[in-house]
Amino acid sequence: MLLVAIAAASYALTNEWRVDHIVECCRRWLKKNGLKMDWLDRVRIGQLALKIASKDLLEAGVAVRLSSVNALFTSEMELNESSTMVQRMMALCHNAL
């Protein structure tokens, strides 16, 4: 879910689907949580996150705009689960799995 939000926020900020942001976010999240993941699994989850962000969000009418990027995250850069947009993203992610 975090990767989907990062992908959507990155697109809103740069107007590009930035794979490097997904890769870096995944690495940091794994390190922060003391976890390891095989490189192929990281690629697969990154591709799924980009697909959900670039296709499924738009099809569901969820448009992350520059003005809404800050609402996706808390001050600690965690997901803001009280955000309606984040809740809709979470539902899409659960459906995609």
Which residue(s) pair with 79 in the sheet?
73
Which residue(s) pair with 73 in the sheet?
79
pLDDT in tens, 14-62: 999 988 889 898 898 899 999 999 999 999 999 999 999 999 988 888 8
From the list 14, 38, 10, 42, the residue with the least C-alpha distance to 26 is: 42
Give the chain's end-to-end CA distance (angstroms, integer).
Answer: 11
pLDDT bracket for residue 95 (50, 70, 90): confident
pLDDT, residue 97, reads 78
pTM of the model: 0.86
pLDDT in tens, 50-91: 999 999 988 888 889 988 899 999 988 889 999 999 999 999
Query: In whole angstroms, what is the distance from residue 1 CA to residue 60 CA?
Result: 16
